[in-house]
Structure 1
């Protein structure tokens, strides 16, 4: 079973369950990112003024990234002890309900400082849940997939993130086109959040119908669950955890720069219209999805490591070229800058759904993979959008590009330090050999 994987029909069902859940999870996550760029400075931080309000708004976006490694340990513990399926149901419920409640929080004009505090609390819950979501969705596919196509099938959890972002941007674009600016800022931005109540029901319907993975069931049958899976991962494979934690810093930095910071940059600095920026955001999200599929498919032919190395190497040069291209302040160059950025990130991201699970043993795979993935999320996803405005104000746009290039070098070094593992059997009972 481990060598051949599930049947094609079963894999399609598993891929739908993996991808559908992350579509909903990341839709929830990205409507917050969009609102943080367009609405929250005025709704929850008006007393700080436009510049400081924007920084505070993006800081609430970053809070979830800080919570994600904690969530990865928490839900990784459940995922390695109780199973992938049960844990994914928990993450979906927490993420969806906390997102819906953001849409019901009164503004600072109504309840004062309590408003941003409530938003931050709900954002922390989002981060905790998302810390376990991608990992579980990815393992659901990776632990069922045949070796020869593990890269392809394992990318559906990541692809769900792309679709979720496109859906979030399209929702905001539709709302923006059908109501006035005043109505949008007053109540229109809340509609995508409240709609999460419906999406949670859809996600639960899909996920309760899939079975637990054979790799997890085999591990439990052989020796039972690990008592402390995260601690065991750190003890048994510290090197892999360390380098895997830096593997995705470029991917997160490029992607979240494109879907959060550049939205604000395009409207406030480049003076492009909001519909233009949102439309380009949808295009960039679609390009990200295409690149994920391409990177995953190529990794099944030439190896995961080569694809990740290539993506990070190209990213170093592009980071330095990005802002000089954007500063021509046209819609065309903004679209080129956004789309190339997400393509590079997506191409390097595509193989990761298979590459990271292949690094770790089954008994602590959820914990180790989730922690490494989400540490990279903090370094690459939380820090750049928050510090971008400060860096550009003090040193200019080229300094921000240099900062992104440094993150790309970190990702490249980590990829070079890890060995290709695409032929590994994810259900094997024997300890895996430490990479070198």
Structure 2
């Protein structure tokens, strides 16, 4: 629903404001210090709440219904705002960050690599990469799970996206840079824009990491071409075949590939590490999962065909994505004056929504801090649970690789 004209001051008087904003900084300090607590407290003030970051207004969506409206009207609520501004600094313009008008073309280019008939082959690569890392594990030895999950994710991304592998030094450097970048992106999101532009040490490190990651992707492309054109990565092959030869085609290729490297490494590793964390805290659940995998997979290596029989494993992963969504805050920007939740919103307004907030609403998920995979048993589910579950987004901009990510996580856990 659009309105013909609306001033920003009118919107400010109609949307309730969260308390605690500081002069000049707004809610930036609270978002940097304890963002999840701030987000979880917003529904007490309304379904749509105004925050301030620096001197600017940000509108926070607090209900599944308004989030659903936001995600299913990409013409009005386009990709933009502080999250995607920061993402574009690294990944440029790609299927995840591009504006709505360009999305269909980007989606057509990457969608073929996620076809169901390709998944069995991907599964073999995933298990091989998992075995490379897990082969170093020993009984009664303490391991740091997250870096090892990053190594598996980066190995899978290199093999499946680029048709090549990282050298050991390049692998460790890339993992370190991805970790530093993810930390930096969330810090920079909540800084007033003026502070983000000052050449502080943290800002210089952030820019150096950005440059190294883009160089690493560009180097992988060159390594494939130097090898006589024997490009084995499905995504790289698909993009080279579909992309027109233009002066900007190299940069466009890097933009799309760096997104896949980031998403295939950090997001899946985060989900797996949190899953292992929860299993380590619940020996009974760990034993139930072990029994399921022993029954379904047996002594053989897991394959893609096993996934559909790993019902408890799927519920465990779903519950991990509910409790620990990898992207816990995302943004949009309005393309025209509109109305959201009964409130008039001006054109160009940044709007945020939080999968973490959605997934921790006690009216939808009783005892939301309790890790309970059995809440996803068919007899325990209700429609509101599925509607509120958005770890991969929703609508036409839902992550193109969601099924692949679930398959990868299932096979790594089974391994």
Q: Give the TM-score range, shorter chain.
A: under 0.3
Q: Where is the helix percentage greater, Structure 1 or Structure 2?
A: 1
Structure richer in strand, relative to its length: 2
